[in-house]
Amino acid sequence: MFQLWQSLDNSNFLCKAVLYVPDKPGSLAKLANSFGKYGINITYFYYNRSEHPNKVIIEAKHEELSPFKLLFEELKKENFLEEKYEEDLQIVNPNNILKISVYLENKPGTLARFAELLKKYEANVIYMIYNEVISENRGEIAFYVKKPEQINALAQEMNLLGYYYNFEYSGTDEEKTNKIIGLNLLERFFLSLKKLIGEEETEKVKEIIMTSKMLSETLINFNRESGKNLEIGQIFNKILTFAISSISKRGKNFNYKRLPTLPIGKILVYSFRPPTGGNIYILKGETETIMIDGSYGIYYEDVKKMLAENQIDPSKIKKIYLTHADADHAGVSGYFEEEYRTEVYLHPASKGIIENENRAYGTDTPLFQLNHYFTILVNYFTKSKFPKDGKFFDIKPKEFCGAFPVIDYFRLDGIEFKILESLGGHIPGQVFFLSEELGLFFTGDYLLYVPSLSEEEKSFLNIPKLLMTSTNVNSKVFREEMELLKNLAQKIDSYLLEKGKGLLILPGHGDYYPIRLIF
């Protein structure tokens, strides 16, 4: 975009341009030089790499029109007017980031000369703002250098040239690093990953990504889609980071939390919480053992050992019932099917999600593409294996439990479980399993008891936002469902209370709990 108009007093011609530069050192210097060459004074300059790695917004003025015509032709020739989205993934060390405020004389070429100085020391600008209206002499600039010693050399030359400046930030402050303007979501992702699994493991992951054309393109596309909504993008990045951290928690590093086994009638209910991913529930009857949900596929061998340690023979699990097709709940199911011919039961809508690698498949959410890239990455890094011959619930409503249709049933040693269909808030094909006789309600990613989550889980699953704004395909419907589920659970609990019983909520993350605990 390149717009021209004349000021109201006819003293100046004004220009506003949206331009695109390569994400590498010297690009902004070259652009600023194009303005300075024709004596055009920049009055507003805005570049924030965290929002877009290539976009620059500039406003400028000159007494005459002809310099703008020459500038336009040059911008066109240098492809600055051609929209692009290309990232140079180079920021790996926050200690090499510096943010300064600097005094710049308000006249043509000043910004270009300072940008040339940054270029000399291979400083890649990640954020720059100058606004004549706010301050005609002050600019804010954040930049990244490959070697820390370049910062000292740059500072010395700035002193020699007589620049007045203040250091506002250097990358030693971890809290500020997380908020630093200019880091794109992908770089924040790798920094977060480094905190979880260490630098060595992070470099291994990065190498896998960068040597795989498919993975690198998917990650870049994921970052681009995330950037369209920074808050949601950051939440997805945290969950992806949390999923990839599973790589370092296998084998000897695998640990799990086992909640007290619940003997309910003739059925034993086991509850396991792996280091990441969703809960695994085992219901052991007198004649049959079933699993409700599983965790990431990357834990398959560890899950088998975990079950054996708790006197559960994995080969005896002949049926798995899935609440939904997210990797952290369904990732191990295909392994059981392959090794033990376990039958895996799920909603028919899950078929489209699995085949198209998109947890939002079948919806019109504006985050459709983001969910697609997110699903591919999570499935790959957590080694998800979905059933090849899934058994699908009958989705014709048989009755209603509150606002939720009961689409099917299954039995365990004669005990009936109702399969309730979600209204579509979290993910297509979401179901809940309810046994009023036993007082058990399996709710997937609904009705989590947040106080039972570890600080790591709260941080990287970002539970409050996860449940209200981010990974839900329809947040409004999700919030409504939460209230409807609470009301239904409370009603059932009141009914059971008359019989001296109560309703337990068994969620997909965190501890199980009696529903009256949250009322």
- At 453 the three-state DSSP class reads coil
Question: Cα separation of 40 and 34, whole Å?
Answer: 9
Please list the residues that pair with 125 across neighbouring strands: 143
* 129: enclosing H helix or E strand: strand 124-131
* 377: enclosing H helix or E strand: helix 368-381
What is the pLDDT at residue 318?
94
Instruction: Spell out the residues 6+ positions from residue 20 whose beta carbon is closer than 8 angstroms to its own.
Output: 54, 55, 56, 79, 80, 81, 82, 83, 84
Residue 59 has phi, psi (to 5 degrees) of -120, 140
Please list the residues that pair with 421 across neighbouring strands: 431
Say if pTM beats, i.e. exceeds, 0.85.
no
Name which of 130, 68, 138, 128 is nearest 103 in CA terms.
Answer: 138
Contacts 24+ apart (CB under 8 A), 226-231: 226/185, 226/370, 227/50, 227/51, 227/52, 227/184, 227/185, 228/370, 229/367, 230/50, 230/51, 230/185, 231/465, 231/469, 231/470
What is the pLDDT at residue 29?
85
Token code pair at residue 21: 């530069």
Range 457-479 burial, b when 16+ CB lie within 10 A, else e: bebbbbbebbbebbbbbbbeebe
Q: Which residue has the tokens 């990613």?
A: 445
- Domains belonging to the chain, first-starting first, are 2-175 (3.30.70.260), 188-249 (no CATH), 251-518 (3.60.15.10)
What is the pLDDT at residue 129?
87
Q: Assess contact for 163 and 122: CB atoms under 8 A.
A: no
Do you know the residue count of the chain?
A: 519
What is the pLDDT at residue 464?
46
Question: Cα separation of 368 and 363, whole Å?
Answer: 8
First to last CA, the chain: 56
What is the pLDDT at residue 180?
56
Sign of CA dihedral 192, 196, 200, 205: negative
pLDDT in tens, the chain (519 residues): 889 888 888 888 999 999 999 888 788 888 988 998 899 988 888 988 877 888 999 999 999 999 999 999 999 999 999 988 777 656 667 777 888 888 887 888 888 888 888 888 888 888 888 888 877 788 888 888 877 778 888 888 888 888 888 876 655 555 555 555 556 777 778 878 888 888 888 889 988 888 888 998 898 888 888 877 777 777 788 888 889 999 999 999 999 999 999 999 889 999 999 999 999 999 999 999 999 999 999 999 999 999 999 999 999 999 999 999 999 999 999 999 999 999 999 999 999 999 999 999 999 888 899 999 999 999 999 999 999 999 999 999 999 999 999 999 999 999 999 999 999 888 999 999 999 999 999 999 999 888 888 777 766 555 544 444 456 777 788 889 999 999 999 999 999 999 889 999 999 999 999 998 876
Token code pair at residue 384: 């998800």
**What's the alpha-carbon Rg for the chain, to the nearest Å?**
28
